[in-house]
Chain A
Amino acid sequence: MAKSESEMTWKDLEIGCICTEPGSASQYQSGGWRSQRPTYNFERCIKCGLCSMYCPEGCIHQNKDGYFEADLYYCKGCGICAKECWTKVIKMVEEEEK
């Protein structure tokens, strides 16, 4: 994208706001919506991946050690992963908490 969305004028938009760059939705930082974030106690994790299947954002992937972890660029903080995790790895905390 040549210009960011906050720099675009009405003349920069394609007709009907058609998007000519497929996949550009990946640039959208839905993590900005979050008020709570997931925290992890990986000692309890059995790497079952259930959290990633339930994640409505599809933003939970395995990290380099094989543990499942949310990508905070996209994670909206819904807490479904924490609710579904049966070994209680995930705890949601308020964003302002350290």
Chain B
Amino acid sequence: MTIRVGVEVSIALADAVKLCNADVIAAYPITPQTHIVEHLAELVANGELDAEYVPVESEHSAMSACLGSSAMGARTFTATSSQGLALMNEVLWVASGMRLPIVMAVANRALSSPLSIWGDHSDVMSVRDTGWIQIFVENGQQAVDNTICAFRIAEDNRVLLPTMVHLDGFNLTHVIEPMVMPEESAVAQFLPPLKFPLPLNPDKPVAMGDFGPPAIFTEAKWAQEVNIEASKKVILEVWDEFYKAFGRRYLPVEKYRTEGAKTLILTMGSFSETASLAIDELRSEGNDVGQISLRLWRPFPFDELRQAVKEADTLVVLDRALSVGGPAGPVASEIKSAFYNMAKKPKVVSFVGGLGGRDITVNAFKDIIQKGIDIARTGTKNEYEFYGVRE
């Protein structure tokens, strides 16, 4: 029997890691991710989770310890945020290049300076090209569900790639939400034990993370690219099986009230739910607007995105990160390039806002959508609109 319980999202996510029976957790606390790893430390200390908890001295060490444990074939989890993710950066590339199926929750938060503990997507965008599968969630239930799915995806022997689950700092990590925690037996059935094909093993020695001379580096990178592109098929399979087992469906591009919509708003993470309320109000006022959001950030869902916008004239994109000195928000840039060679494509109006914990309310979303429609009609000299700045 499944019951709905009110629980803090960080705690629920840690409980999901316990349901997945992780073998090793190597982590360093950082706001707003701390509650996740604190609760995991409690679970291990109390004997509720039979895992090795490695309290490391930095995030660089956390990810390095994860490399080792994952290479042994141990189910490995960590979590971080912002500066911690930035400190891990070089090791993230190693994890994906070595095909180690580590799962990491990222409590999305701004990068300093000025120092900010509050939410935006600057940290995510700084690790865009690290070769990890990256999934965005919009609420606590999705965070729990996709943590479970992340292990199954990452560890599938057709995939074997590290996977990040992005959840907004504070807006998700620190809220209490009614959630359905999956049954342990159902998760055990859904998630088979990890069988890493070539683990570190003294009886059958292998070397990992060797250097790749110019004669093979190109081949290694192409193998990685083919692999992550092929992972999408498995991601879809896993989400489909999750739906059959648990009744909640996830898609690479999520749609909300898109039928007949000429204007679409796209944003990612928890703000999507606020944007949905704005869509409801605009719809009830007779506007033909709808919403899409990218659940899957890597591998980028080109086909699903193009399909989702084919009836629309305008796509308004709200980025919660700024590419300083660049063309637009990072998400809008990628969407524009995905559309560039399409014969019929919507106009893309790029907004950057919601930085460093600045809220964007339902009314602000209505304002953004209306401004987007106006800009699409009249044109603009701006590469993007910087929303909400006081002049």
Residues of B within 8 A of A17 (CB): 97-98, 210, 212, 216, 220
Residue of B whose beta carbon sits closest to that of A17: B220
Most chain A beta carbons < 10 A, residue from B99, B197, B219: B219
- Report how far A48 CA is from B109 CA in the complex, Å: 60
What 1/0 mask marks residues of chain A from 7 to 19 whose CB sits below 8 Å from any chain B CB?
0111111111111
Tell whether A19 pairs with B210 under 8 Å between CB atoms, given A5-B216, A13-B216. yes
Contact of B215 among A6, A11, A19, A24 (CB under 8 A): A6
- Report how far A87 CA is from B205 CA in the complex, Å: 43
Q: How far is the CB of A43 from chain B (nearest CB, A)?
A: 40
Q: Do residues B219 and A13 form an inter-chain contact, with CB atoms below 8 A?
A: yes
Contact of B223 among A13, A22, A28 (CB under 8 A): A13
- Report how far A14 CA is from B212 CA in the complex, Å: 13
> Does A63 sit within 8 A of B, measured CB to CB?
no
Q: How many residues on chain B are close to A (CB under 8 Å)?
A: 21
Interface residues of B in 187-244 (CB under 8 A from A): 197-198, 205-208, 210, 212-213, 215-216, 219-220, 222-223, 226
Residues of A within 8 A of B216 (CB): 5, 8, 13, 17
Residues of A within 8 A of B215 (CB): 5-6, 8
> Does A26 sit within 8 A of B, measured CB to CB?
no
Interface residues of B in 51-99 (CB under 8 A from A): 97-99
> Does B309 sit within 8 A of A, measured CB to CB?
no
Most chain A beta carbons < 10 A, residue from B97, B160, B210, B212: B210
Which DSSP category, helix, strand, loop or mixed, fits chain B's interface?
A: loop
Contact of A15 among B197, B205, B207 (CB under 8 A): B197
Q: Do residues B213 and A5 form an inter-chain contact, with CB atoms below 8 A?
A: yes
> Does A20 sit within 8 A of B, measured CB to CB?
yes
- Report how far A22 CA is from B216 CA in the complex, Å: 18
Contact of A19 among B197, B207, B223 (CB under 8 A): B207
Tell whether A19 pairs with B208 under 8 Å between CB atoms, given A8-B216, A10-B219, A14-B198. yes
Residue of B whose beta carbon sits closest to that of A15: B99
Residues of B within 8 A of A10 (CB): 219-220, 222-223, 226
Residues of A within 8 A of B205 (CB): 22
Q: How far is the CB of B317 from chain A (nearest CB, A)?
A: 34
Q: How many residues on chain A are close to B (CB under 8 Å)?
A: 19
Residues of B within 8 A of A9 (CB): 219
Residue of A whose beta carbon sits closest to that of B157: A15
Interface residues of A in 1-55 (CB under 8 A from B): 5-6, 8-20, 22, 24-25, 28
Residues of A within 8 A of B100 (CB): 16
- Report how far A6 CA is from B213 CA in the complex, Å: 10
Residues of A within 8 A of B213 (CB): 5, 28
Q: How far is the CB of B201 from chain A (nearest CB, A)?
A: 11
Q: Do residues A15 and B160 form an inter-chain contact, with CB atoms below 8 A?
A: yes
Residue of A whose beta carbon sits closest to that of B197: A15
- Report how far A24 CA is from B207 CA in the complex, Å: 10
- Report how far A8 CA is from B197 CA in the complex, Å: 21
Interface residues of B in 91-140 (CB under 8 A from A): 97-100
Most chain A beta carbons < 10 A, residue from B160, B198, B207, B220: B207
Q: How far is the CB of A14 from chain B (nearest CB, A)?
A: 7
Q: Do residues A16 and B222 form an inter-chain contact, with CB atoms below 8 A?
A: no
Residues of A within 8 A of B198 (CB): 14-15, 18, 20
Q: How far is the CB of B331 from chain A (nearest CB, A)?
A: 29
- Report how far A96 CA is from B110 CA in the complex, Å: 56
Q: Do residues B220 and A13 form an inter-chain contact, with CB atoms below 8 A?
A: yes
- Report how far A18 CA is from B210 CA in the complex, Å: 8
Residues of B within 8 A of A28 (CB): 213
Residue of A whose beta carbon sits closest to that of B160: A15
- Report how far A13 CA is from B365 CA in the complex, Å: 49
Residue of B whose beta carbon sits closest to that of A13: B223
Q: Do residues A16 and B219 form an inter-chain contact, with CB atoms below 8 A?
A: no
- Report how far A10 CA is from B230 CA in the complex, Å: 15
Q: Do residues A16 and B97 form an inter-chain contact, with CB atoms below 8 A?
A: yes
Tell whether A18 pairs with B97 under 8 Å between CB atoms, given A5-B216, A10-B222, A13-B219. no
Q: A5-B215, A18-B198, A25-B210 are in contact. List 7 more A-B contacts (CB 8 A).
A: A8-B216, A9-B219, A16-B100, A17-B212, A18-B206, A19-B207, A25-B207
9 closest Cβ pairs, A-B complex? A16-B99, A19-B207, A10-B219, A16-B98, A10-B223, A22-B205, A5-B215, A10-B222, A6-B215
